[in-house]
Chains A and B, each alone.
Chain A
Amino acid sequence: MKKAKILTAGDSALLIEFEQKIAPEINAQITAFVHLLKEQHIEGVTDLIPAFASLLINYDPRVIGYKDLKARIEELLKIEVSEEASEARVFEIPVCYGGEYGPDIANIAENAGLSEQEVIDIHCSKDYLIYMLGFLPGFVYLGGLDERIHTPRLANPRISIPAGSVGIAASQTGIYPLNSPGGWQLLGMTPVKTYDPERETPILVEAGDYIRFVPVTEEEFLKIKKQVDDGTYEYVVHRKGE
């Protein structure tokens, strides 16, 4: 039995609180539970919001009441499901670092006492777990940023950050899915669209997947950007462990 609490969040949602810490193993439990829950196709469940250490289940009480749903959830929580690490997907996100694409890379390097190249090498040295999506469509909350390049937010946030910008805010790194105001320190830009309302799947990734940043030159950036605009770009996806 997992350490999980079922709490009310109004009359049309309940919250399952897992152990309240930000850790890959807790998040893996949630991802596995979401998959299990989706397979059940419980009538009346309308929407799921997995987060760092919780899962909000929206439901229609005219179809299923709180007590019945709670009982179903309690049963499901007893089932031991282990999410195979190999099942997770790793999305390659090409990034052109520095220059006009990453106007804050000098700040980040200076703050870390490293060279810009070292910042880039560290930033793209590992796969980042997507703990959750939120804030904006397709905005990924990534865990595991190397402590050496943690950087405070800008004291004066920008009015508009272009879609595709890759930034750092304290211990987090992420990608802006659309133009938005924000205070993240920008170190690069990706030509791929993590959110595209015109695409059949507007958002490619989900919580539990991984992101791998791959450095590209400006020339490659422009080439990929053209392919993305033409609709011919093929996203590179691996299985975790490959």
Chain B
Amino acid sequence: MGVRVLKSGIMTTVQDLGRTGYQSQGFSVSGVMDVRSFKIANLLLDNPENEAVIEFTLMGPTLEFTSETIIAITGGDFQPHVNGNPVKMYTAIYMKKGDILSFKGCRSGSRGYIAFSSYLDIPVVMGSRSTNLKCGIGGFKGRRLMDGDLIMFRIKRRYLPYFLSRSLDLDEFSSDEVTLRVVMGPQKSKFTKEGIETFLNSEYTVTSEFDRMGCRLEGPFIAYKDTSDIISDGIAFGAVQVPSHGKPIILLADRQTTGGYAKIANVISVDIPKLAQCRTDQKIRFKQVTVDAAQKLMLKEEKEFSSFREKIYTPCKEVLECRLVAKRIGKLFADK
């Protein structure tokens, strides 16, 4: 009763929203890189908001289902197939025992998410099922998934109402233009006026040094006053630090808890998924917003999620048409 990894891909891990509350002891948060895609995957299955999923990067895994369940795939478009037939992303998919889920090439984005209605049987370590690769804790045996791994489910099956409505028509990551909105950072005063202007008005390029810990960008030198070194302080998700080489590094899910480079800005929460789905050579621009605006955007996204929930709780067209027919028949009887 579970899912077997036939081919694991490049970097496939079990993640949830991460291990918070232990950063003061030096534990990275870990967790999903693209929180939006993660939430939508769970939402499609009525899963709890923080239910663990499988996150994969650049290459999808091949999975064999050893029992029935319902899954939803979100994030970048990796062209999912079940038993060789294409299936839709952002849609609840019923998987029978023995079905095989595989992916073709990645058409957009760089990370995918698979949520399971039967919940992955992964032990909770310090409040989270996320894999912390550096410490080897959490997730599946504290490591990325490998060929042959078998992850069990916690429950047998769940009934999902409105099964046919559980589909969202979303195309999230096919745009060529990526603008990341930022709130200026705690050490912006370490940079010269010109440095900040360079940062906000230049195009930067995602390099191949991009993993769950962070993303290094190439582009114009960001000038700082005397030094970009600071007395080490805590690092937030999406912090943009600039070491003495003058190029930004954006710190992500597996970031270390503290660091000693000045942080010029912080990518706002709703835009971190856009970065998480970038690939090498993607061009990026930054745009300054206020904290207030950023927080309003978070609340707006919550409302958007509510509208998604409403949508999947509306009987789909096929079902409605059925009712129309029933109505007509009812009318015939009423006339007599």
Contacts and interface: CB of A to CB of B under 8 A. Distances in A.
A139 B28 CA distance: 12
A215 B127 CA distance: 37
B107 interface: no
A12 B20 CA distance: 13
Interface stretch (B50-58, B160-168, B183-191, B308-316): B183-191
Contacts, number: 143
B256 interface: yes
Specify the main secondary structure of chain B where it touches its partner.
mixed
A206 B25 contact: yes
Interface in A8-30: 8-13, 15, 17, 20-22
Nearest to B19: A47
Q: Which of B24, B126, B237 has the most CB of A within 10 A?
A: B24
B248 to A, nearest CB: 14
Contacts of A10: 183, 185, 236-239, 266-269, 294
B125 interface: yes
Given A12-B236, A65-B295, A136 B134 contact: yes
B25 A66 contact: no
Interface string A122-154: 000000000011111111010000000000000
B125 A197 contact: yes
B266 A203 contact: no
Interface of B: 20-27, 29, 125-126, 134-135, 137, 183-186, 230-239, 256-258, 263, 266-269, 291-292, 294-295, 298-299, 302
A137 B27 contact: yes
B302 A62 contact: yes
Q: Which of B25, B135, B230, B266 has the most CB of A within 10 A?
A: B25
B250 to A, nearest CB: 11
A52 B24 contact: no
Interface stretch (A53-61, A82-90, A223-231): A53-61
Nearest to A207: B24
A73 interface: no
Contact of B24 (A22, A49, A54, A62): A49
Contacts of B183: 8, 10-11
Contacts of B231: 20-22, 51-54
Contact of B186 (A8, A21, A48): A8
Given A67-B292, A137-B25, 18 more contacts: A8-B266, A9-B239, A10-B238, A10-B266, A10-B269, A10-B294, A11-B266, A11-B294, A13-B266, A17-B186, A49-B235, A49-B257, A52-B232, A133-B257, A134-B26, A135-B258, A197-B125, A206-B25
